[in-house]
Structure 1
Amino acid sequence: MTNTVKQGVFTTVLKNGCTNFYIKYSLNNKQYKVRLGSDEDGWTVNKAYKERQKRISNNLASVSNRTSLKFCDAFESYMDSISHKTDCYNSRSRYKTHLKDSIGHYRLGDITPLLLLKLKSKLAEEDTVKTGKPLAPRSIDGIMDLVNQTYNFHIRIRSYNGTSPATPKLVSRFSIDNSRLSFLSKEDYKNLMYRLEHRTEFYINTKPHITQQLKLFVMLGVTTGGRRGTLLTIKVKDINFKEGTILLHNHKVGRIYQGYIHPAIKEYLLETVATLSPEHYLIGGKVKPLCPTTISKRLQPILNDMFNVGVTQRRERVVVHTLRHTFGSWLAQANTSLYQIMKLMDHSQISQTQMYAKLLPNSGADEVSKLDI
């Protein structure tokens, strides 16, 4: 290969006397070598040089367009790609409340880890309008994860050629303390169901269909351990009364697992599905699932009235997700193995289930005493 008078243009002479033309150029620290053709195809040194300049200009323009993408537009594209997921509403709400005004106007290439660390500190210190308190560490981690997911989506579809500034390595996440665990006792559950059954005695403007939704949600929550989105996407066709099973959708990781119908709620489920078609969602009774925020806004005030009066520590409050912890806790108290609890709750790792170990009535003392020494 021989240099020519034009930068980045090279030639080779074939045995038949024809001359092949090549161009070399560098872009984003990557070297490119391209064969254009021969003089029989009409290629010359000048034509090859112009082609080289054209390719460099086009690639630079493409890179410029990709790096000029603003976070607000990038986020909307990402949301469109996950619009089928049940937590899409929560993601939009987090963006609107905490990210839109702070980084929405920035280009993707201009958002740095330092900028996000400052935002993280601000979120941890400033009181929110909704609660009058700073965001919980887990909520802040969720916001940083949302930024990271937005970047990763655009990197994956090649609309952005940089790297994410929001990875856990660059923007550390909080170390969440799971040592304390709130859950309902059997008596708490009975009292909650009584309150729901007699809502008209405690609250005004109650509607029977909403009472039914809340009762179903609580019943299924403590007997299947499904997350909020999981419970709200149970369809009638997912319930097999003959086998006593319920198909549950883990939207967090995108898989389906099996739950079981507790005998105590079987009759209520049968009454509920009697007027529904197989494609109807069990909670809400429509062809579209109930919005997760809607069920929380209806149930959380009741939980606050019953269990959170005077409770100041966030980790000790009873919330909608407490129903899932209640399921795991009751299983542990019934001496269910951690491995079985892991399967029933569809945890990805046993470390997620380890929090229930302290509730096991037999911590191993019986096994030790059985050793033949």
Structure 2
Amino acid sequence: MKNTLEFAWNLYRDLKLSSVRKPKTDIRVWEMHIAPYLGAKELGSVKSIDVLLLRKKAEAKGLSPQSVHHVLGLLRRILRRAIQWEVYPGPIPIFDMPRVNNDRTRFLTREESVILLAELKRRSELWHDLSLFALSTGLRSGEIFNLLPEHINLSAKTVAIVDTKSDNRVVPLNGAALQIAEKYLARNTGSYLFTTIYGNKIVFAGKLYRRAVEACGLNNGIQDRRQRVVFHTLRHTFASWLVQGGTALVVVSQLLGHSDIKMTMRYAHLAPHQGQEAVAYLNDYMQNSVTSRL
């Protein structure tokens, strides 16, 4: 028992699972997809072929690439923790992970944003303000929910983003975002900048936001989940509007905190005129230079 994968899972469950965002999901994945096949297997005997067979079994059940990725990801995390906690020396088997395309391209039109914000304001001042703040800054939901009062600089009109998935950065606040920051700074009792009505930390966008989206009909008839409006859509909307307005992709990349500008290139098609304007400017610049020499 002590040298089995199930033993390593029990350690992971007792020592790590409480800090996982959705522990019930990991428990379900373990019980349904990993334990029946590998639970009793000794840690040292879990080989790359076992990982491949587990993937094939998950795919045979009709699981989506994202779900299969979750199954294999949980197994890999368990094994890595087992090595970290010196339960067994390793090595980690090779994990051939399925390709998952989670890129969301949907963004709101101006009319859709007005409708959604109005519906949110009718339901909740807090979620209206959170959504407008996201739309105005392009911050990830976790970055917004983790903001502390000291991250806001009212005189400089900026917000500092720290301890995030990418490098720390400073994002300017426009008029709407600045007003929201000032409002919640005035209300703050020493905890996170934005909290629930009970003063608790906000973890994720919940039912209220989803119901507002549903009430606006923004997801009617949409089957592809990547095209459905979620809270993260506000971040895409921020970026899309900036690019359409002529903001350079490198600036958008910096504001979004992308670690690689390739991530920002998904918005390039929204401003095809920028390339034409750039070469036109170069042509005019060269002609003016020649003319000035005559």
TM-score normalized by structure 1? 0.65
**What is the RMSD of the two structures over their aligned residues, measured on CA atoms?**
3.0
| Alpha-carbon displacement from aligned partner over 1:56-107 (angstroms, at most 9, x marks no partner) | xxxxxxxx95566634224326626x83xxxx223x2331232233224344
How far, CA to CA, are the matches of 1:360 and 1:74 in structure 2? 51
Residue in 1 aligned with 2:185? 273
> Secondary structure at 1:364's aligned position in 2?
helix
- Among candidates 72, 79, 98, match of residue 173 of structure 1: 98
> Secondary structure at 2:277's aligned position in 1?
helix
- Among candidates 10, 17, 21, match of residue 73 of structure 1: 10
Asked whether the equivalents of residues 121 and 127 of structure 2 are also in contact (C-alpha less than 8 Å), the reply is no
Asked whether the equivalents of residues 245 and 260 of structure 1 are also in contact (C-alpha less than 8 Å), the reply is yes
Deviation at 1:123, TM superposition (A): 4.8
* Change in CA separation of 1:121 and 1:279 when aligned onto 2, cut-off 3 Å: same
Residue in 2 aligned with 1:21? none
> Secondary structure at 2:33's aligned position in 1?
helix
Give yes or no for the alignment of 1:189 onto 2:189: no
> Secondary structure at 1:309's aligned position in 2?
coil
Asked whether the equivalents of residues 145 and 192 of structure 2 are also in contact (C-alpha less than 8 Å), the reply is no
Asked whether the equivalents of residues 103 and 111 of structure 1 are also in contact (C-alpha less than 8 Å), the reply is no
1:132-281 paired onto structure 2 within 5 Å? 135=64, 137-165=65-93, 167=94, 170-176=95-101, 178=103, 181-199=105-123, 211-249=124-162, 251-253=164-166, 255-281=167-193
Give yes or no for the alignment of 1:345 onto 2:256: yes
Q: Structure 2: which 5+ runs fail to align?
A: 288-294
Residue in 2 aligned with 1:89? 21
How far, CA to CA, are the matches of 1:235 and 1:286 in structure 2? 17
Q: Please say which structure displays the higher CA radius of gyration.
A: 1
How far, CA to CA, are the matches of 1:282 and 1:177 in structure 2? 28
Give yes or no for the alignment of 1:100 onto 2:100: no
Deviation at 1:364, TM superposition (A): 0.9
Deviation at 1:195, TM superposition (A): 0.5
Asked whether the equivalents of residues 120 and 140 of structure 1 are also in contact (C-alpha less than 8 Å), the reply is yes
1:46-61 paired onto structure 2 within 5 Å? none
- Among candidates 279, 294, 297, match of residue 207 of structure 2: 297
* Change in CA separation of 1:361 and 1:142 when aligned onto 2, cut-off 3 Å: same
Q: Structure 1: which 5+ runs fail to align?
A: 1-63, 128-133, 200-210
How far, CA to CA, are the matches of 1:355 and 1:346 in structure 2? 15
TM-score normalized by structure 2? 0.81
AA paired with 1:334?
Answer: G
The percentage of counterpart residues that share the same residue type is 23
* Change in CA separation of 1:126 and 1:331 when aligned onto 2, cut-off 3 Å: farther
